[in-house]
């Protein structure tokens, strides 16, 4: 999966907790009781691993937000 090596997803779990996973991965790298805690930890993991893309899923499983964690490569950097 080229291009996704430094990506992480924050996804809901059936028990109501949240997991940080790699795209297509079944095992959680980290679990948390709140989505915000999982997002924070996923950002730390990505930053430690050289940056990348963080996708945050809602309780319905759909991606609701995507962030580039530096020093990731943002395909559409802000102007100015």
Q: In the chain, pLDDT over 70 holds for what percent of residues? A: 82
pLDDT at res. 1: 40
pLDDT band at 24 (very low <50, low <70, confident <90, very high): confident
- Give the C-alpha distances (Å, rounded to integers) separating 3 from 15, 29, 32, 58: 31, 19, 26, 23
Q: Are 75 and 66 in contact (CB under 8 A)?
A: no
pLDDT tens, residue by residue, 63-72:
999 999 987 5
Residue 48's Cα: distance from chain center in Å? Answer: 13
Distance of alpha carbon 57 from alpha carbon 79, whole angstroms: 27
Measure the CA angle with vertex 55, ends 51 and 58; round to 5°. 155
Is pLDDT larger for residue 22 or for residue 79? 22
Domain spans of the chain?
A: 7-68
pLDDT band at 25 (very low <50, low <70, confident <90, very high): confident
For the cut 50, the answer to whether the pLDDT of residue 16 exceeds it is yes
């Amino acid at each position: 999966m080229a291009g996704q090596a430094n990506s992480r997803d924050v996804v809901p779990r059936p028990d109501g907790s949240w997991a940080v996973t790699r795209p297509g991965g079944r095992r959680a790298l980290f679990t948390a009781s709140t989505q915000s805690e999982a997002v924070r930890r996923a950002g730390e993991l990505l930053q430690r691993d050289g940056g990348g893309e963080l996708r945050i899923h809602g309780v319905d499983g759909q991606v609701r937000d995507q962030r580039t964690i530096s020093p990731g490569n943002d395909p559409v950097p802000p102007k100015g």
